C-alpha cells in the first residue's frame, strides 16, 4: 500500500523484480541513446544552432543593417515599402525585428552560405522561417549569428512566433532564394 | 494497516543502509534538490550569459 | 489538555485533523475557482484559434490567453497542490499540521496575490502572457501579485516540511513515510526551488516596472524565469505521480512493486527534473551547447528514466493487485476488468496514458537540442503541454477530487452518470486538441498568434491547408474538453451544495473551507500508523507482464517518433 509506510523497515535491501529490472535497463539504454544523439548531431548533423552571439545594442545593430541595405538594395516592396536587399553570395547579412516587421527583405542565392545576423530593436521576437520551419528566439541586446545555406529556391516567410504585443500577428518578413 | 511485530523486532537492530537514510531525510533531499539545479542550471547559465562578448 | 481535533472518515478510514482539513478544503475550492476561470478563457482561446470561428478580437484574444495560461498553470495547480501537501503530510501521517495559523497566512497571501494578478489582467495593460518576457512591460501589481502568491505557496511548503518533522518527533507512524508522502515531498522540494527562482527574477522585475531599476537583461530573465515557469510544471509531475500511486492503493490496495525503485525514481526527480527548464532556452543566443545538452537532457535523461520507471510501476502495481484478485487470464484481463465506470480510476488511467504516450514522448523529442529548431514556439508546444498539464495533471486532480468529495467534504457525488462520463469527455477532448496542435505545430504554425492568415499584414504568407484544417479540429477538441471541464466544475460545486450529506456535520458552509460541526471531531489522537502488511508476492515478476507489454509498445512509439523528427530536422536548410 503506497499510502502506508513500507512493509519492511529496511526496504532498501528488497530485491528488484525481474520485469522492473529489465525495464530499467531498456529505459536506461534508450536514455543514453537520446543523450548521445545530441553530440553526434553536432558532429555529423547539418542542422545545428551556432554558439556565436554577441552583446549589442539596438542602435549598433540597426546601423549595421542600414549599411547593408544601403549598399545592396535592388528594389522596394511596394505594399510594405520595405527594401529588398541582395547582398553578395557568402557575405554577412542582417535582419532586424521590431514592432511589427522583419527588416529588410533579403534575396539570397541557392546553395550559397551566408552569415545571417539577427537581433531585435525593442521586445523579444521569434524568427520562424516558413515553410522550411526554422525557429529561433531573438532578443534585444543580443546579436545571433547563424550560418545558413538555403538549399531550396522560392519565397520564404519570416513569421514572428514570439508574442510581441497587439500587432504581433501582422509581423512578417520575407526571404527570397534564387 | 496492522502492525508487523516480527518484522519490527528482527530489523530493529539492523543498520539502516546509507541510501535509505538519505531518502528518509527530507532536509538532505531539500538541500540536494535546491543545490543541483541552482548550480547546473542557474549559476552555470548565468556565468555563460555574463561571458558573452560584446560585438566588435 | 488535548482537545479532540481528529475525525476518522468511516468510509476510507483516513484521519483528518480539523485545521488541516479546513486548509485542504480552502485551497482545493480556490483551485477549482481558478480552473473555472482559466478553463472558460481557454475555451474562448480555442474558439478564436479555430479559423472558421475566430471568435475574439486580437486584443481580447491576447488578454484571454494571458489569463488562461496564468490561471491554469500557476493558480489552479498550485492551490490544488497545497491541498495535496496538507493531505499527504497531515492525513496520511495522522499528524497535526505544523503552525496552521501560518497556513492561513499563506492561503491569504495566495488569494491576495492571485487576485492582484487578475486585477492587473482585467485592467487591460498586462496582456503579457504567462511568461511576461521583459522588456514588454506589465503593471507593477502584476509582478507584485505573483510575488505574494509565491510567498504564500512557500509558506505552505515549509508547513509541509514542518508537519513531517512533527510526525517524526511524535512518532505518529512506523518506519519510513508512505511512498505517496515521499512523492509529495518531492513536489514540495521542487516547489521550493521553483518559488525561490521566481523570487530571484520577479522581485527585480517588479522594481523595474516601478522604475527603480532601469534594465533587466532579457536572456537573464528568460533563463531564471524558466526555472520558475518550467519547474512549476515539474511540481505537477511529482504531485500527479504521487496521486497515481495513491489511487492505485486506495482502489486496488496495490503496493509499490518495489519501494526502493519507486523512491529512487523520485530521487532522480529531486536531483534532475528541474534542469529541464533549459528546454525553453534551446533556440536562444549565447548559452553554450554544452550547457544546453547537459541541462535539457536532465543530466543524461535520468529524470526521463525516472518517469519511465513510474510509467511501469504504477500500472504494474495495479496489475499485480488485480491478478491477485483473480483477474489472471491472458495479458490484459486485469485491465479490462478494472473499474472503468469509476471516475477516480478512469480519470487517473486516462491521465497516465496520455501523459506518457503524448506528453512524455513529445516533451523529450522537442527538448532535444537540435530538434527544438523545428519546434520552438510553434503550436506544437501547447500541444505538448495540454497532454501533460491539462490531461496528466488536471485530469488526475479531477480524479482524486471524486474521491475527496465524499471523504473530505462528506458529501455524496451528484449525477452519477455524468461523473462516469466526465473523464472520457474531458480526456477525449484534450486528446484531440493535443494531437492536432502537435500536427499543426509540425507544419510550423506559431503559438500565441491571433491570425495565421495574416489578413492585416503588409506582407503575405499562406500556411498549408492541412494546418488550417488541423487547427479547426483542435478547436473542436478544445470545445469538447471545455464541456468536460465545465461538467467537472458543476459536479464538484453541485455536490458540495446539493450532495447528500454523509455526515450530519457536513452542512453547506462547513463544506466550504470551514471545519465540520465540532461533534464530528471525536478522536484525540489516532492510533499509530503501522507498517503496511507484508504480502506474499510469489512470482511477482511474472505477474506484471501485461504492463511490460504496454511499456514495450510505449518504448517502440518513443523510438519511432524520435527518429521521424530527426529525419524531419535533416530536411531543413543546413545551418550551423
Q: What is the pLDDT of residues A56-72, one digit of tens each?
A: 999 999 999 999 999 99
Q: Residue C364 above 60 pLDDT? A: yes
Q: Does C231 touch chain B (CB under 8 A)?
A: yes
pLDDT tens per residue, range C133-156: 999 999 999 999 999 999 999 999
Q: Measured between alpha carbons, how far is A28 from A34 in angstroms, rounded to an integer? A: 10
Give the pLDDT of residue C214.
Answer: 94
Give the pLDDT of residue C537.
Answer: 55
Give the pLDDT of residue C208.
Answer: 98
Q: Does C225 touch chain A (CB under 8 A)?
A: no
Within 8 A by CB and 6+ apart from C146, the residues are C74, C113, C117, C198, C202
Give the pLDDT of residue C536.
Answer: 61
A158: in domain: yes
Give the pLDDT of residue C511.
Answer: 55
Q: Quick one: average pLDDT of B26-48?
A: 97
Give the pLDDT of residue C519.
Answer: 77
Contact A10 B14 (CB under 8 A): yes
Instruction: List the single residue in A8, A54, A143 with the smallest CB-CB distance to B7.
Output: A8
User: Across A60-141, where does the E strand assignment appear?
Assistant: 73-77, 82-85, 92-98, 101-103, 105-108, 114-120, 125-130, 134-138
Same domain, A14 and A68: no
* All CATH 1.20.210.10 domain ranges in chain C, comma separated: 11-252
Nearest Cα of chain A lies from the Cα of C447 at a distance, in angstroms, of 7
pLDDT tens per residue, range C442-459: 999 999 999 999 999 999
β pairing state of A53-55 and A142-148: antiparallel
Q: Quick one: average pLDDT of C283-290?
A: 94
Contact B41 C227 (CB under 8 A): yes
- Least confident segment among C28-37, C92-101, C140-149, C512-521: C512-521
Give the pLDDT of residue B4.
Answer: 47
B9: in domain: no
Set of chain B residues whose Cβ sits within 8 Å of the Cβ of C270: 29, 32-33, 36
pLDDT tens per residue, range C316-356: 999 999 999 999 999 999 999 999 999 999 999 999 999 99
The CA-based angle C498-C503-C507, given to 5 degrees, is 50
At residue B52 the predicted structure's pLDDT band, cuts being 50, 70 and 90, is very high
Nearest Cα of chain A lies from the Cα of B18 at a distance, in angstroms, of 9
Q: Quick one: average pLDDT of C203-220?
A: 97
Print the domain residue range for A43.
Answer: 8-48
Selection from C190, A20, C487, C434 nearest residue B37 by Cα: C190
Predicted ipTM of the assembly: 0.96
Average model confidence (pLDDT) for chain C? 94
Top residue of A7, A8, A11, A12 to mutate, by most chain B CBs within 10 Å, is A12
Set of chain C residues whose Cβ sits within 8 Å of the Cβ of A129: 573
A1: in domain: no
Contact B48 C287 (CB under 8 A): yes
Q: Measured between alpha carbons, how far is C317 from C257 in angstroms, rounded to an integer? A: 6
pLDDT tens per residue, range C407-429: 999 999 999 999 999 999 999 99
Q: Does B55 touch chain A (CB under 8 A)?
A: yes
Domain count, chain B: 1
Q: Does A46 touch chain B (CB under 8 A)?
A: no
pLDDT tens per residue, range C545-560: 999 999 999 999 999 9
pLDDT tens per residue, range C75-125: 999 999 999 999 999 999 999 999 999 999 999 999 999 999 999 999 999
Within 8 A by CB and 6+ apart from C242, the residues are C84, C88, C179, C180, C182, C183, C184, C186, C187
pLDDT tens per residue, range C155-166: 999 999 999 999
Print the domain residue range for B44.
Answer: 17-56
Domain count, chain A: 2
The fraction of chain C above a pLDDT of 90, given in percent, is 90
Give the pLDDT of residue B1.
Answer: 40
Only one residue has cell 465524499, namely: C406
Give the pLDDT of residue B6.
Answer: 47
Contact B52 A53 (CB under 8 A): yes
Give the pLDDT of residue C3.
Answer: 82
Q: Residue A1 above 80 pLDDT? A: no
Q: Measured between alpha carbons, how far is C233 from C38 in angstroms, rounded to an integer? A: 16
Within 8 A by CB and 6+ apart from C353, the residues are none
Of 3.10.20.30, 3.50.50.60, 1.20.210.10, 3.30.530.20, the CATH number of C11-252 is 1.20.210.10
Set of chain A residues whose Cβ sits within 8 Å of the Cβ of C62: 163, 166, 168
Q: Residue B7 above 80 pLDDT? A: no
C411 bridge partner residues = C501
Q: Residue C198 above 70 pLDDT? A: yes
Task: Give the predicted TM-score (pTM) of the model.
Answer: 0.95
Q: Residue B53 above 50 pLDDT? A: yes
- Least confident segment among A104-113, A124-133, C8-17: C8-17
Give the pLDDT of residue C513.
Answer: 52
Same domain, A110 and A172: yes
Give the pLDDT of residue B5.
Answer: 47
Instruction: List the single residue in C192, C196, C530 with the smallest CB-CB distance to B1.
Output: C530
CATH code of residue A75: 2.60.40.420
- Least confident segment among B28-37, C254-263, C322-331, C511-520: C511-520
Reduced to 3 states (helix: H, G, I; strand: E, B; else coil), residue A53 is: strand
Same domain, A84 and A167: yes
Residue C345: C-alpha distances to residues C341, C505, C511, C544 (Å): 8, 28, 24, 18
Average model confidence (pLDDT) for chain A? 96
A2: in domain: no
Set of chain C residues whose Cβ sits within 8 Å of the Cβ of B19: 264
At residue B9 the predicted structure's pLDDT band, cuts being 50, 70 and 90, is very low
Give the pLDDT of residue C517.
Answer: 75
- Least confident segment among A9-18, C10-19, C74-83, C517-526: C517-526
Q: Does B9 touch chain C (CB under 8 A)?
A: no
The fraction of chain C above a pLDDT of 70, given in percent, is 97
Amino acid at each position: 500500500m503506497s499510502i502506508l509506510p513500507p512493509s519492511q523497515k529496511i526496504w532498501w535491501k528488497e530485491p528488484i523484480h525481474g520485469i522492473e529490472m529489465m525495464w530499467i535497463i531498456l529505459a536506461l539504454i534508450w536514455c543514453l541513446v537520446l543523450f548521445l544523439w545530441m553530440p553526434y548531431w553536432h558532429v555529423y548533423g547539418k542542422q545545428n544552432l551556432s554558439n556565436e552571439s554577441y552583446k549589442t545594442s539596438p542602435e549598433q545593430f540597426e546601423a549595421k543593417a542600414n549599411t547593408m541595405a544601403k549598399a545592396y538594395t535592388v528594389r522596394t516592396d511596394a505594399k510594405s515599402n520595405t527594401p529588398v536587399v541582395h547582398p553578395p553570395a557568402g557575405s554577412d547579412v542582417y535582419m532586424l525585428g521590431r514592432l511589427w516587421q522583419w527588416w529588410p527583405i533579403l534575396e539570397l542565392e541557392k546553395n550559397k552560405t551566408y552569415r545571417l545576423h539577427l537581433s531585435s530593436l525593442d521586445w523579444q521576437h521569434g524568427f520562424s522561417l516558413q515553410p522550411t520551419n526554422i525557429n529561433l528566439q531573438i532578443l534585444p541586446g543580443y546579436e545571433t549569428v547563424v550560418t545558413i545555406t538555403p538549399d531550396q529556391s522560392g519565397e520564404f516567410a519570416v513569421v514572428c512566433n514570439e508574442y510581441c504585443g497587439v500587432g504581433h500577428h501582422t509581423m512578417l518578413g520575407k526571404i527570397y532564394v534564387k | 494497516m496492522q502492525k508487523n511485530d516480527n518484522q519490527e523486532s528482527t530489523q530493529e537492530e539492523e543498520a539502516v543502509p546509507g541510501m535509505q537514510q538519505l531518502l528518509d531525510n527530507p532536509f538532505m533531499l531539500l538541500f540536494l534538490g535546491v543545490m543541483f539545479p541552482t548550480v547546473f542550471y542557474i549559476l552555470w547559465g548565468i556565468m555563460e550569459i555574463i561571458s558573452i562578448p560584446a560585438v566588435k | 489538555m488535548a482537545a479532540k481535533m481528529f475525525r476518522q472518515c468511516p468510509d476510507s478510514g483516513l484521519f483528518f485533523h480539523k485545521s488541516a482539513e479546513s486548509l485542504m478544503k480552502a485551497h482545493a475550492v480556490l483551485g477549482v475557482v481558478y480552473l473555472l476561470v482559466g478553463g472558460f478563457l481557454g475555451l474562448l482561446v480555442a474558439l478564436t484559434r479555430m479559423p472558421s470561428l475566430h471568435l475574439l478580437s486580437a486584443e481580447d484574444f491576447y488578454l484571454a490567453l494571458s489569463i488562461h495560461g496564468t490561471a491554469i498553470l500557476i493558480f489552479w495547480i498550485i492551490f490544488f497542490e497545497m491541498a495535496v501537501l496538507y493531505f499527504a503530510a497531515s492525513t496520511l501521517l495522522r499528524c497535526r499540521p505544523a503552525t496552521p495559523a501560518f497556513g492561513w497566512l499563506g492561503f491569504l497571501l495566495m488569494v491576495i496575490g492571485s487576485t492582484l494578478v487578475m486585477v492587473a489582467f482585467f485592467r487591460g495593460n498586462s496582456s503579457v502572457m504567462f511568461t511576461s518576457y521583459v522588456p514588454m512591460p506589465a503593471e507593477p501589481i502584476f509582478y507584485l501579485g505573483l510575488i505574494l502568491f509565491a510567498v504564500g505557496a512557500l509558506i505552505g511548503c515549509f508547513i509541509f516540511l514542518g508537519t513531517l518533522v512533527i510526525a517524526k518527533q511524535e512518532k505518529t507512524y512506523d518506519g519510513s513515510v508512505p511512498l505517496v508522502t515521499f512523492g509529495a515531498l518531492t513536489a514540495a522540494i521542487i516547489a521550493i526551488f521553483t518559488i525561490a527562482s521566481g523570487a530571484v527574477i520577479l522581485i527585480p522585475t517588479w522594481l523595474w516596472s516601478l522604475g527603480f531599476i532601469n534594465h533587466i537583461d532579457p536572456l537573464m530573465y528568460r533563463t531564471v524565469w524558466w526555472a520558475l515557469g518550467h519547474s512549476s510544471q515539474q511540481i505537477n509531475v511529482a504531485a500527479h505521480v504521487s496521486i497515481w500511486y495513491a489511487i492505485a492503493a486506495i482502489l486496488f490496495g496495490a503496493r509499490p512493486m518495489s519501494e526502493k525503485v519507486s523512491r529512487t525514481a523520485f530521487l532522480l526527480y529531486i536531483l534532475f527534473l528541474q534542469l529541464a527548464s533549459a528546454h525553453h532556452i534551446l533556440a536562444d543566443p549565447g548559452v553554450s551547447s554544452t550547457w544546453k545538452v547537459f541541462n535539457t537532457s536532465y543530466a543524461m535523461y535520468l529524470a526521463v528514466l525516472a518517469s519511465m520507471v513510474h510509467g511501469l510501476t504504477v500500472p504494474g502495481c495495479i496489475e499485480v493487485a488485480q491478478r491477485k484478485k483473480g483477474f489472471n487470464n491472458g495479458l490484459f484481463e486485469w485491465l479490462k476488468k478494472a473499474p472503468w465506470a469509476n471516475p477516480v480510476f478512469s480519470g487517473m488511467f486516462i491521465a497516465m496514458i496520455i501523459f506518457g504516450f503524448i506528453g512524455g514522448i513529445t516533451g523529450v523529442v522537442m527538448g532535444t537540442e537540435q530538434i527544438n529548431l523545428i519546434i520552438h514556439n510553434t503550436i506544437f508546444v501547447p500541444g505538448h503541454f495540454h497532454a501533460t498539464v491539462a490531461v496528466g495533471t488536471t485530469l488526475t486532480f479531477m480524479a482524486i477530487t471524486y474521491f475527496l468529495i465524499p471523504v473530505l467534504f462528506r458529501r455524496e457525488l451528484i449525477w452519477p452518470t455524468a461523473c462516469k462520463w466526465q473523464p472520457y469527455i474531458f480526456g477525449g477532448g484534450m486528446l484531440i486538441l493535443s494531437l492536432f496542435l502537435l500536427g499543426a505545430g509540425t507544419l510550423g504554425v506559431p503559438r500565441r498568434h491571433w491570425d495565421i492568415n495574416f489578413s492585416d499584414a503588409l506582407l503575405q504568407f499562406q500556411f498549408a491547408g492541412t494546418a488550417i484544417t488541423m487547427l479547426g479540429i483542435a478547436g473542436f477538441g478544445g470545445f469538447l474538453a471545455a464541456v468536460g471541464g465545465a461538467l467537472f466544475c458543476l459536479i464538484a460545486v453541485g455536490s458540495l451544495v446539493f450532495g447528500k450529506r454523509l455526515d450530519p456535520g457536513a452542512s453547506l458552509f462547513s463544506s466550504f473551507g470551514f471545519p465540520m460541526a465540532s461533534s464530528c471531531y471525536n478522536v484525540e489522537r489516532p492510533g499509530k500508523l503501522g507498517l503496511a502488511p507484508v504480502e506474499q508476492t510469489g512470482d511477482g515478476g511474472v505477474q506484471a507482464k501485461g504492463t511490460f507489454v504496454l511499456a514495450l509498445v510505449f518504448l517502440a512509439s518513443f523510438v519511432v517518433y524520435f527518429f521521424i523528427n530527426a529525419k524531419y530536422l535533416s530536411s531543413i536548410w543546413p545551418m550551423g
